[in-house]
């Protein structure tokens, strides 16, 4: 019974956005409204986007800081909410993709002026792949943004998801007067307050009420009536099951910096967002209410101090109860490990926890036992699925520049790959190691860390590849033929799966034309796509 209650209480989600849309501000305001922090400014900004590429130490520092803010738990109206932070900088997009494997739902922040941006599209593609329920928060309504109907259209088209506004803005920018709550049928008037929290919802029984003119003015009142009648014609009532299965995104409007629109978002969120969901392993599906503990590692944070090579591995609990100082089975290494100081993270503090429940994330101090994707159980041999890898965007050949230190280089690069800093592809032809990342920055980070933490030095040489595609075929003989004939373009990922390295879209088209029995996939999780 206790397990069931703890599961029902929990809501574990991630906030995602294109940088600068207001993710950090919204996170902070959710914590503020949830009473987890007393004042704004507690959540550290992960804003290396504004620094020069070469300023990667700053980014590493930020990464260090963000350990504390990687997971933020708080209680709100009887629910335990876990927010999983995702890095805003595009060079750390892989980190975000992995974090999305550990959440049950997502809040997507969109800037009403800029609309759907590049990162928004990429992140939503991952959400769709995993059928993650998404709520959209249209932010910065105090700015002169896009027409709300046009923006809904853009969201649907570019993000490939149906939308359903649950609040509706009255004006925008300098004419922004507040929002109308389409379900509660109430007005929330906008007052730009950075500290206080505006709470008054004015109930509106009838939109023809003249009170609307008195409160909003003639034009805004009429516009609201017209908009609402259009919306009622356009949209079906909100369908929870479509949202829960990832096909319909409810939309809210507000201004995070001005504390506006947050309460409606949070209250609806705890009502509709799913509690911890079941998760698939290679062997079977694991339900959260199974009594035996299971969990998986989705993120690893290195210690910035090179003298202490310990790391924090973040474990998402999938079923049962996790207890401190209890032996658990590390299924890849087939060995038992126990954790003396599992850590939970609150808004601005962390503490050792004695027990945790499905949906929670615990930080486990680790001296090198964990790789991303590792599974912990009470003894059952399981391997959770679903840590997708996407094609890197930049590829470089790794060269050892100090032959005396090749062991250190091997160890270092493998550990950094385990942490998920980059992807490594091994090419049999020429015995080459190719490192793939989503940003230039990672190469500098890798070089720096290899030198400072492992005493190894390396150089990166340009290669012509721009994309890695995972290969499959229903015919093993044809697959072998393809691997042989294309050997110049074939490499193996860290799990030994073959990938096709291409330099242009034409390479892929040409290869597929010549080998019609071969399929090329954009990510390592293609087997699971529905
Ligand atoms: P991010 O994490 O998604 O990258 O965005 P972040 O919250 O850091 O917000 C990006 C910028 O947008 C910040 O301004 C922030 O103050 C501003 N912002 C957030 N919400 C709103 C809003 O509702 N309205 C308006 N007008 N601005 C908003 P900055 O100048 O980059 O940083 P700061 O100096 O304010 O910290």
8 Å CB contact between 340 and 362? no
431 close to 416: Cβ distance less than 8 angstroms: no
CB 357 within 8 A of CB 7: yes
**How many angstroms is it from 102 CA to the middle of ligand 1?**
26
Instruction: Please answer whether residues 473 and 479 qualify as being in contact, where contact means their C-beta atoms are separated by less than 8 angstroms.
Output: yes
Exposure string over 218-228, b if 16+ CB within 10 A, otherwise e: eebbebbeebb
Q: Which atom of ligand 1 is found nearest the CA of 254?
A: 23
Q: Above pLDDT 90, what percent of the chain?
A: 60
pLDDT of residue 54: 38
pLDDT of 104 above 80? yes
CA distance linking residue 316 with residue 182, whole number of Å: 35
pLDDT at 67 over 50: no
Name the DSSP letter for residue 120.
H
Element (H, E) at 345: strand 343-345
Q: Percent of the chain beyond pLDDT 70?
A: 88
Structure tokens at 522: 């954009």
Contacts for 179-182 with beta carbons within 8 Å, 24 or more apart? Answer: 179/252, 179/253, 179/254, 179/261, 179/264, 180/204, 180/224, 180/228, 181/264, 182/228, 182/231
Q: Which of 33-37, 99-103, 123-127, 400-404 has the lowest mean pLDDT?
A: 33-37
Q: Which atom of ligand 1 is closest in space to residue 109's alpha carbon?
A: 3
Give the atom of ligand 1 at the shortest distance from the alpha carbon of 25.
7
Decide whether any atom of ligand 1 lies within 6 Å of the 85 Cβ. Answer: no
Q: Please write the tens of the pLDDT for every residue from 202-214.
A: 778 788 888 888 8
CA–centroid distance, 48 to ligand 1, in Å, is 14
Please check whether the two domains, 279-377 and 394-529, share a CATH topology.
Answer: no
Pocket probe mutation, ligand 1, options 16, 18, 20, max atoms within 8 Å of Cβ: 20
Q: Does domain 2-272 have CATH number 3.40.190.10?
A: no
User: For the segment 370-384, what is each residue's pLDDT rounded down to a tens digit?
Assistant: 988 899 999 999 999
pLDDT surpassing 70 at residue 304:
no
Query: How many residues comprise the chain?
Result: 530
Q: Cα of 420 to ligand 1 centre, how many Å?
A: 28
User: From the alpha carbon of 45, which atom of ligand 1 is closest?
Assistant: 8
Task: Give the pLDDT score at 68.
Answer: 46
* Tens of pLDDT, residues 466-522: 999 999 999 999 999 999 999 999 999 988 899 999 999 999 999 999 999 999 998
Q: Is the CB of 21 under 6 A from ligand 1?
A: yes
- Distance separating alpha carbons of residues 236 and 389, to the nearest angstrom: 36
> What is the residue with the minimal CA distance to atom 30 of ligand 1?
20
* Section 257-278 average pLDDT: 94
pLDDT at 438: 82
Nearest C-alpha neighbor of 202 from the set 187, 216, 215: 187
Q: Looking at ligand 1, which residue's alpha carbon is closest to its atom 29?
A: 20
Greater model confidence, 301 or 422? 422
- The hierarchical CATH code for the domain 279-377 is 3.40.50.300
Which range has the worst mean pLDDT, 94-108, 291-305, 391-405? 291-305
pLDDT of 355 over the 80 cut: yes
| Ligand 1 pocket member 262 (CB < 6 A) | no
| Residue 89, ligand 1, Cβ within 6 A | no
Q: What is the pLDDT of residues 399-434, one digit of tens each?
A: 999 989 999 999 999 988 888 888 999 998 888 999
Of residues 56 and 232, the one with the higher pLDDT is 232
**What's the gap between Cα 162 and its chain centre?**
20
- Ligand 1 close to Cβ of residue 140 (< 6 A): yes
Of the pLDDT bands very low, low, confident and very high (cuts 50, 70, 90), residue 215 is: confident
- What is residue 33's predicted lDDT score, i.e. its pLDDT? 87
Q: Is 119 in the pocket of ligand 1 (CB under 6 A)?
A: no
Helix and strand numbers (H, E) in the chain are: 14, 31
Please compute the mean of the pLDDT values over residues 247-263 and round it to a whole number.
Answer: 94
The average confidence (pLDDT) of the chain is 87
Q: How far is the CA of 21 from the centre of ligand 1 (A)?
A: 7
Least-confidence region, from 9-18, 130-139, 443-452? 443-452
Q: Which of 356, 360, 367, 402 is nearest to 70 (CA)?
A: 360
Average pLDDT of the residues in 325-335 = 96
At 210 the pLDDT is 85
Contact 424, 165 (CB under 8 A): no
What tens digit of pLDDT does each residue of 108-165 get?
999 999 999 988 888 898 898 889 999 999 999 999 999 999 999 999 999 999 999 9
The confidence score (pLDDT) of residue 479 equals: 95
Which residues fall within 8 angstroms of residue 167, CB to CB, at 6 or more apart? 179, 180, 181, 182, 188, 251, 252, 253, 254, 261, 264
Going by the DSSP 8-state scheme, the letter that residue 307 receives in this structure is T
Burial class of 519 by CB neighbour count within 10 A (0 to 12, 13 to 18, 19+):
middle
Question: How far is the centre of ligand 1, averaged over its atoms, from the C-alpha of 72 (Å)?
Answer: 20
How close is the Cα of 23 to the center of ligand 1, in Å? 8
pLDDT in tens, 73-93: 888 999 999 999 877 666 667
User: The whole model's pTM is what?
Assistant: 0.85
Confidence of residue 50 (pLDDT cuts 50, 70, 90): very low
- CATH classification number, 394-529, choose in 3.40.50.410, 3.90.700.10, 1.10.10.10, 3.30.70.3280: 3.30.70.3280
Specify the pLDDT at position 290: 97
Q: What was the pLDDT predicted at 88?
A: 63
Mean pLDDT of 5-14: 96
Residue 15, both tokens: 């906030």
Q: Kindly state the tokens that stand for 519.
A: 């399929």
Q: Compute the distance between CA of residue 79 and CA of residue 274 in angstroms, rounded to an integer.
A: 12
Ligand 1 within 6 A of CB of 256:
yes
Rounded to an integer, what distance in angstroms lies between the CA atom of residue 73 and that of residue 111?
Answer: 25
> What is the per-residue pLDDT for 462?
95
Which is more confident, 205 or 221? 221
Task: Please enumerate in sequence order all residues whose Cβ is within 8 A of that of 284, keeping only pairs 6 or more positions apart, or say none.
Answer: 382
265/254 Cα distance (integer angstroms): 9
pLDDT at 51 over 50: no
Task: Give yes or no for residue 56 having a pLDDT over 70.
Answer: no
Delimit the domains of the chain by residue range: 2-272, 279-377, 394-529
């Amino acid at each position: 019974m206790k397990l069931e209650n703890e599961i029902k209480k929990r809501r574990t989600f991630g906030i995602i956005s294109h940088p600068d849309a207001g993710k950090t501000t919204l996170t902070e305001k959710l914590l503020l409204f949830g009473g987890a922090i007393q004042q704004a400014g507690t959540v550290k900004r992960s804003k290396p986007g504004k620094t020069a590429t070469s300023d990667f130490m700053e980014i590493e520092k930020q990464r260090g800081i963000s350990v504390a803010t990687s997971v933020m738990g708080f209680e709100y109206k009887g629910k335990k909410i876990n927010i999983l932070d995702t890095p805003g900088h595009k060079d750390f997009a892989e980190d975000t993709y992995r974090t999305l494997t550990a959440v049950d739902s997502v809040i997507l922040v969109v800037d009403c002026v800029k609309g759907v941006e590049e990162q928004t599209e990429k992140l939503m593609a991952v959400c769709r792949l995993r059928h993650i329920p998404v709520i959209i928060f249209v932010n910065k309504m105090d700015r002169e943004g896009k027409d709300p109907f046009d923006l809904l259209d853009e969201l649907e088209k570019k993000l490939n998801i149906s939308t359903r506004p649950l609040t509706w803005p009255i004006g925008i920018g300098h004419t922004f007067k507040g929002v109308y709550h389409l379900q509660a049928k109430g007005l929330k008037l906008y007052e730009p307050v950075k500290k206080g929290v505006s709470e008054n919802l004015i109930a509106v029984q009838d939109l023809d009420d003249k009170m609307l003119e008195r409160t909003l003015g003639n034009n805004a009142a009429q516009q609201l009536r017209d908009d609402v009648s259009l919306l009622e014609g356009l949209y079906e009532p909100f369908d929870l099951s479509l949202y829960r299965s990832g096909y319909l995104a409810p939309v809210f409007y507000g201004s995070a910096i001005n504390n506006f629109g947050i309460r409606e978002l949070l209250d609806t969120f705890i009502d509709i967002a799913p509690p911890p969901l079941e998760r698939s392993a290679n062997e079977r599906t694991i339900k959260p209410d199974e009594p035996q503990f299971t969990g998986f590692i989705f993120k690893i944070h290195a210690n910035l101090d090179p003298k202490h090579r310990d790391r924090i591995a973040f474990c998402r609990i999938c079923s049962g109860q996790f207890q401190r100082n209890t032996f658990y089975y590390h299924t890849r290494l087939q060995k038992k490990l126990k954790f003396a100081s599992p850590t939970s993270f609150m808004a601005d503090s962390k503490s050792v926890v004695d027990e945790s429940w499905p949906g929670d994330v615990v930080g486990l101090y680790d001296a090198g036992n964990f790789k991303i994707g590792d599974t912990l159980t009470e003894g059952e041999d399981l391997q959770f699925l679903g840590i997708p890898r996407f094609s890197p965007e930049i590829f470089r050949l790794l060269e050892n520049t100090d032959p005396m230190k090749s062991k250190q280089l091997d160890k270092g690069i493998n550990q950094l790959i385990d942490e998920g800093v980059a992807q490594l592809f091994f090419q049999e032809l020429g015995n080459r190691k190719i490192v793939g990342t989503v940003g230039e920055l990672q190469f500098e980070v890798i070089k720096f860390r290899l030198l400072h933490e492992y005493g190894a030095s390396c150089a990166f040489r340009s290669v012509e590849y721009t994309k890695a595609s995972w290969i499959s075929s229903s015919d093993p003989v044809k697959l072998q033929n393809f691997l042989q004939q294309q050997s110049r373009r074939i490499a193996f990922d860290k799990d030994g799966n073959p990938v096709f390295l291409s330099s242009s879209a034409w390479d892929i088209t040409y290869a597929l034309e010549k080998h019609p029995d071969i399929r090329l996939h954009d990510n390592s999780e293609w087997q699971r796509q529905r």
